[in-house]
Structure 1
Amino acid sequence: MDKILVTGANGQLGSELLALSSNYPQFEWFFADRTKITLDNLDLLKTQLNDIKPTIILNCGAYTAVDKAETEKDLANRINDLAVEVIAKYSAKNKVKLIHVSTDYVFDGTSSSALNEEAPTKPINVYGASKRAGEIACLKENLNSIILRTSWVYSKFGNNFVKTMQRLMQERDAVNVVNDQIGSPTYAADLAQAMIKIISSEKWIPGIYNYSNEGEISWYEFALAIKELGGYNCDVTGIPSASYPTPAKRPEFSLLDKKKIKDTYNLDIPYYKESLKNIFT
């Protein structure tokens, strides 16, 4: 029986994997929060991996505080790059299947068409740079690994845009949301299901894959969908990013092309609004 180690067990994706895990008793699941897998202590991380002895690793743990990363560069790099290098080395040495989760923030946002896995990367903030460095380390240390790039992740668990909008739309008469950043949301439960489909598949084809829900929208349009499905009586106004400055610059366009993962693993990816409905049920 394969033993699956899920890092970042308390995060959005880890929590969704935990919720799904009982449906897959053919696997032994090991969900590791920060006390069991210490991504910011590399020596301890090596010991922990040797103690757990997984046969599959789903690396969902990451430093994800995009704005805070601008002033915590060393910590972001340790978790998003150096820890990934340790995990990739361990998985290569022990012939462990590794799926590492990355981000659309590896791109600079200047494209005008959906980005495939071969598109050039050029991160524009510390978080994106640390995640791109982690991708490079992963591919260098373990040629047999799979990297899943995803975007705009939300879930019933953790903190995310959808939950923030739900709260604000109930508290306020009006909200402003940026309308010039384009991409597509990812319902973490859909991504978790895709990861399980990959590890359950008879084929393992390493490399980088994109995954997000279908659709091309702005954050403003995403907020409008949340308002509609939640039935909130709140005015939503679109504003330019320049009117909402943040410490970390965001890509203006990071829509992901999902053709590769759909063709390789025969995935049926839901339209973003269909998945968003799950938050309101």
Structure 2
Amino acid sequence: MLRLLTIEFQKLRYSRSAKVLSIIYFGLFTLIALIASIKFNLFGAEIHIADQGIFNFPYIWHFNTYCAALLKIFLAIVIVSLISNEYSNRTLKQNLIDGLSKKEFILSKFYVVASFSLISTVFIFIVSLILGLIFSDYTEIGIIFSDLEYLLAYFVKLLGFFSFCLFLGVLVKRSAFALGFLFVWWIFESIIIGVLRFLILKDAVTTEYISQFLPLESMANLVKQPFTRLNIIQSAANQLQTDVAFDYAVHWYQVIIVLGWTAIFIWGSLTLLKKRDL
């Protein structure tokens, strides 16, 4: 494992695009967090987003993992580019000639995917912990370290998404086409859900049950939107006598579904590579 990781990070070390995109990903999240923590005036009114409770423990784990996941496309581009460069630079064939098996090649890419997911999760944990300790109204140990399952869900979500990107990179060999295919697949899933919901089943509950097994939808279900948990939203809903009840929990079966798709994508990548004449 260490040998394969060393080989891959040596390639990333000399990739300017990988460095830039990684910096953009981590930099953007840090910037968003900093902006949310700063007081500023808007049309004479003082606004401090942190006062809305977004940095309160344990809510911050949910909020930050959801927001960080929205930026995952930057790291996805790195993953896809890593695969496409293997084809365009002919390093894939050279690696196989040098003694690297096709299984080891796919495993090396998966180790990069897992490393990116883990590094991102640790980064979100550190940033969230710092922001929470500064701005949270609740700093008891028990409260601080509750709801950490959102970090696990975030890690599994990235692992599944990047594995999908790895599969697409192997499938189409070109980063632009792979990212385009990813966008088309997202539209395809949306159409399937819409057809099931409004034309075939005409039932939201059954549609939700079936759609949770779609790859992108299953990943999205791991960390659901946190905004309706905010006190200001709950208060407004109570005043309007509107029910905003929502299942925010991370369920074990949702984690299993995404891990299942992750295994399928890695197996699919290896199968494609084995069948191809390089």
TM-score clears 0.5: no
Q: Which has the higher strand share?
A: 1
Q: Which has the higher helix share?
A: 2
TM-score, length basis structure 2: 0.29
If you compute each CA radius of gyration, which structure gives the higher value, 1 or 2? 2
Whose RCO is larger (CA < 8 A, sep 6+)? 2
